[in-house]
Amino acid sequence: MLLKSDWLSAFSTQLTLAILCSATSVYAAESDSHLRVLAASCAACHGSHGNSVGGTPVLAGLDAAHFRLQMKSFRSGERTSTVMHRHAKGLTENEIEALAAYFSAQPRMVAVSPRALKDLQ
């Protein structure tokens, strides 16, 4: 027979698990929006989702290990840069890791001018 106290303790364990689960998903949503804000700050120079249209390096589809290495080299000053040392120094290890995963997963877009397209036809 199930004692009242057993039932209560089983119930409170379930309740604790439910609270823990919802806390985890709230945290995931927050960190996801934090990542979006960070990635948006790179867009001014590196383009939307890392697809730069100017002379700035394209980040979309960049190998995550290469990305990490560049950011660390900018931070240490091992790689000289015009602006990136400032951006890299403002990021934590976790933020660099999250950005490396984000940009490596973005599809690389190739823009073809109408004139070049005509030449191809």
Site residues (CB under 6 A) for ligand HEC?
Answer: 38, 41-42, 44-46, 56-57, 59, 62, 67, 70-71, 81-84, 87, 99
How many whole angstroms separate alpha carbon 105 and alpha carbon 91? 20
- Residue 29 or 40: which CB sits closer to ligand HEC? 40
Nearer to ligand HEC, 6 or 78 (CB): 78
Give min distance, CB of 12 to ligand HEC, in A: 44
Closest CB 100 distance from ligand HEC, rounded Å: 8
Largest CA distance in the chain: 83
CB of 73 closer than 8 Å to CB of 79: yes
- Classified as helix, coil or strand, 112 is coil
Please report how close the Cβ of residue 72 comes to ligand HEC at its closest, in angstroms. 10
Report d(CA 53, CA 28) in Å as an integer. Answer: 31
